[in-house]
Structures are given as structure tokens and as C-alpha cells.
Structure 1
Amino acid sequence: MTNGSNRIFDEFAKLMTDAAGAAQGVRREVETAFQAQAERFISSMDLVQREEFEAVREMALKALEQNAVLAARVEALEGELAKKSGSKTTAADSKPASTARTKK
């Protein structure tokens, strides 16, 4: 009878192994379906990827730095111009005069 009970346990162990394999397969299918749904949802929200955001952020920071450098250069040049002309320029003086446009 020990032979018979061992056989039952062997069959039961085989059944549990097969069930575990099937459960893993179902788990993979559910994960794949969930991931696909999440990707569809995110793409419908028009979100950007982190890499794209960081690239644009770096470009903006670089542009701000260049803007500050150029503003300092303009101020220095305006100071030199004011020293050479002997008068201080005002904000109204630094604006270009409007030009009349003619139609061709």
C-alpha cells in the first residue's frame, strides 16, 4: 500500500507543479495586458519621457546662461558708449526708432 500512496503523492505533486506553471503563465499574461493598458493610458495623456524633459531642461538652462552673458555684454557696451559720448543713455534712447514701411 505504500507503493499506492507514493503514487498518489507523486501524481498530486505533478498536478501542483503543473498548476504552478499555469499560474505563472496567467501572471505573465495579466502583467502584459496591464502594461499595455498603462502604456495606452499614458500615451493618451501626451506625457513626455524623462529623457526628453531633461534634454529640453538642459537646453533652457544653457539659453538662460547665454542670455545672462549677453545682457552683461550689452550693459558693458552701453557703459562704454555712455562714457565715450559723455551722456547717459535712457531706456527711451536705447530703443530703435520706428521705421515706416512702404508697400511694394
Structure 2
Amino acid sequence: MQSDKRIFDDLSKFLNGVAGTVAGMGREAEAGFRERTREWVAGMDLVSREEFDAVKQMAATARAEAEELKARVAALEAALGKAKATPKAAAKPAPKPKAAPKK
């Protein structure tokens, strides 16, 4: 009877050792996989979230400025159209002075 218990104790110790070894191998494989994945992603030249957000903000600002400029141009064109439509004495450009003949 005593030897039967000892066999089971030895077997449980052996299986615990195997389980620990397998778990260690799993952790090591996972660490290697993560490292290779990081290297692969780094080689892809991806944009970080901070850079993406900065460019997105700049684009929004540029769009707002473009809309503001469009409104200003439309207002200026409307004012210019009204100026052309009102009957004013057309100012003739001053005649250019004639150049003295070269000697």
C-alpha cells in the first residue's frame, strides 16, 4: 500500500513539472510572437494615433478657413457686381506720356 501512494506522489510531481515546463514554453512562445509582431508592425511605417489626430485637426482648420475665404470672395464679387451695375461716369485711364525720341 505504501508503495502505491509513493507511485502516485511521484506521478503527480512529474505531471506538475511537465505542466510547469509546458506553461513556461507557452509564455516564451507568446513573448517571441509579440516581439516578432512588433517588429513587423514597425516595418509597416504606420501612423501613430497622435499624428493622425493632429493631421485631422489641421484639415478641419483648413476647411474652416477655406469656407471663410469663399464667403469673403463671394461678398467681394457681389460688391464688385453692384459697383459695375451702378451708372457712374466711367473714368478714362490717363493717356500714357509719349517717350521722347531717342537720339
TM range (shorter): 0.5 to 0.7
Structure 1: segments with no counterpart, 5+ residues: 88-104
**2:91 alignment partner in structure 1:** none
RMSD: 2.0
**2:84 alignment partner in structure 1:** 86
**1:49 alignment partner in structure 2:** 48
1:86 counterpart SS class: helix
Distance 1:17 1:51, change over 3 A: farther
Q: CA–CA distance in 1 between the matches of 2:58 and 2:40? A: 29
Instruction: State TM-score, norm by structure 2.
Output: 0.65
Instruction: State TM-score, norm by structure 1.
Output: 0.65
1:5 counterpart SS class: helix
**1:66 alignment partner in structure 2:** 65
- Equivalenced residue count is 85
**2:31 alignment partner in structure 1:** 32
Shift of 1:38: 1.5
Shift of 1:57: 2.2
C-alpha distance after superposition, 1:10-66 (max 9, x if no partner)? 222222222222212111111111111111122222122344323322321332232
> Larger RCO: Structure 1 or Structure 2 (Cα < 8 Å, ≥ 6 residues apart)?
1
Q: Percent identity?
A: 41
Distance 1:34 1:73, change over 3 A: same
Distance 1:16 1:58, change over 3 A: farther
**1:15 alignment partner in structure 2:** 14
2:64 counterpart SS class: helix
Structure with bigger gyration radius: 2
Letter in 2 for 1:23: V
